Amino acid sequence: MTPGTLFVVATPIGNLEDITFRAVRVLKEVDLIACEDTRQALKLLNRYEIRKELLSFHEPRERERLPRLMERLRLGRDVALISDAGTPAISDPGFRLVREAVREGIRVVPIPGPSAVVAALCAGGLPTHRFLFLGFPPPKKEAARKKLAAVRDEEGTLVFYLPGRKLIEFCGLLGETLGERALVVAREMTKIHEEFVRGNPQEIVQYFENKQIKGELTVLVEGKTR
C-alpha cells in the first residue's frame, strides 16, 4: 500500500485573507487536518467553507496523538498539519510528526505561507542578511539571562517570540546582558491594530510600561556590531 502524504500548511497569523490558493486547495483535498486548537482551526476553515475531520495536535498531547496520525498516513491517507497561526513546527507543534514521517519514508510537502518571523524581519528595519531565530526564551529569569549571554557575540539580528506579559522583564534582561541595542517589537501583525515599536530597551519599556500587552510578540534585537 502506498502511504499518504503529510502536508505542512502555513495559515494566517492574523488576517484570514493571508492564505494561499494552494493551501486552501490542499486543506479541501486531504483526508484529515491535524491542528493545535479545533476551535481556532474552525474559524479559518469556516471562512473558506472547508469541512474536514479535525484532530487536535497540541503540545501536551503531541506524543499521544502521533501514533494515530502515523497510522493514517501508513494507510494511504493524506494529512494536513496546521498550527493556530503561521507555519507549523516553528515554535509550534509538528516537529515530532515531521521527523517520524521522514524516518518512515513518508512524503512530507511544505505549503509555504505566513510566518511571524519573516513578517517581522521584512518590515522591522534591522539587517536581514543574517538572523538567528531563538523562539521563546526560557520562562525562568536566570535561564533567560544565560541564553542571552550565549548569543552576545552573534552579529546577525536576533529574533524571539515572547508573551506580551513578559516584555518589560525581557527588555530589562536585554539591557543588562546585551547593552543598548536597537529593538523592534512587532505586535498584532496583519491585524487592525498592527504595530511596530522601535527603540532601545529603555525606550521600549517606557512606551509599554503603562499598557496592557495582549497576545504574543515578535521581538527583533540588533546583532553585535563590529
List, as one string, the DSSP characters of 190-207: TSTT-EEEEE-HHHHHHH
Radius of gyration of the chain (CA): 19
* Residue matched to cell numbers 523562539: 135
Domains and CATH numbers, the chain: 5-111 (3.40.1010.10), 116-221 (3.30.950.10)
Number of Cβ atoms within 10 Å of the Cβ of 205: 18
pTM to 2 decimals? Answer: 0.93
Number of Cβ atoms within 10 Å of the Cβ of 210: 6
pLDDT digits (tens, 9 = 90+) for 23-37: 999 999 999 999 999
109-to-9, 69, 160, 187 alpha-carbon distances in Å: 8, 16, 26, 30
Partners of residue 33 on adjacent β-strands = 54, 80
Residue 44: its pLDDT value, please? Answer: 97
Q: Max alpha carbon distance in the chain (Å)?
A: 61
Give the total residue count for the chain: 226
pLDDT digits (tens, 9 = 90+) for 35-47: 999 999 999 999 9
Is the per-residue pLDDT at 226 higher than 90? no
Whole-angstrom distance, CA of residue 221 vs CA of residue 201: 9
Whole-angstrom distance, CA of residue 97 vs CA of residue 103: 10
Q: What is the mean pLDDT of residues 82-108?
A: 94
Partners of residue 162 on adjacent β-strands = 217
96-to-26, 121, 136 alpha-carbon distances in Å: 21, 27, 18
Q: What is the mean pLDDT of residues 170-199?
A: 96
Which DSSP helix (H) or strand (E) runs through 6?
A: strand 5-9
Residue 100 grid cell: 517520524
Whole-angstrom distance, CA of residue 9 vs CA of residue 27: 8
